[in-house]
Amino acid sequence: MKQLLGWALSLLFAVTAVGGGFVLSKPGKLLMKENFDGADLPELFTVGVGDWAIVDHTIRGRQQAADKHTAFRKIYLDHQDVIYQFDMKIEGEAFSQILINYDLSHIAKCVTRVDSISVFKVYEGGKRKQMAKEGRDPGKDPMNGKWDEKTFAMDTGAVNLKKGEWYRVTIEMIGDRLAMEVDGVRVEGTHIGITEKKTNYGFQAGGIEGYVYYDNIRVWEALPLRR
């Protein structure tokens, strides 16, 4: 009964959080929930690079120059069509990025800056070739080995986010469609590569002169809306 009540409350959180519904999908089974109520990094948030810490029941990330890479936490979670939803805050000169992956291969990313939000299809060639060389499972490979397409923004929208303030981010991924909404602005793209299965995704913080905070993370299975 307690588990059922928790699921129902999580579903209510999802529906009310974005003003009454989603555009591409509706939430199904809750796959992941994290509120950062403990003093230490949760187990799912222990893989990655950068400066990460629990601060006031949130997770705070900052890129370190020595890493020569955005700060990230890699979350291992087998999933396909999903809704990612979380609260995000930017301080200083930083940006937020959600990277969606199959094994080593980056599939897509969703980037939030104080003045723009974007959804990208990411170049797969290097990681796909590494996976093939290592004999790793190629997955569905919906691009049929045609991995040379460079990273590009499928859609970009202008926003005016205030540093130091929290914003809710909703990302829907279903079939070949990927959409993100922040502060009432929505961007969306379509690409066959998005249909690949996903085995992990990452919360990232870019910029060595600022911080990105995350909280109230939820991941649900995304169910198609009836047309």
**Distance separating the N- and C-terminal Cα atoms of the chain:** 33
Tens of pLDDT, residue by residue over 102-157, are: 999 999 999 999 999 999 999 999 999 999 999 999 999 999 999 999 999 999 99
Task: Report yes or no on whether pTM surpasses 0.75.
Answer: yes
Q: Contact, 186 vs 158, CB < 8 A?
A: no
SS3 assignment for 171-182: EEEECCEEEEEE
Identify the pLDDT of residue 188: 98
Separation of alpha carbons 79 and 6, rounded Å: 21
- How far is residue 40's CA from residue 52's CA, in Å, rounded to a whole number? 10
CATH architecture of the domain covering 2-224: Sandwich (2.60)
* Averaged pLDDT of the chain: 92
Among 13-22, 191-200, 203-212, 214-223, the range scoring the smallest mean pLDDT is 13-22
CA distance 197 to 124: 14
Residue 196 pLDDT exceeds 70:
yes
Domain residue extents for the chain:
2-224
Predicted pLDDT of residue 110? 99
Q: Using the predicted structure, report yes or no on whether residue 17 has a pLDDT greater than 60.
A: no
Looking at residue 21, what is its pLDDT?
56
List pLDDT tens digits, range 90-100. 999 999 999 99
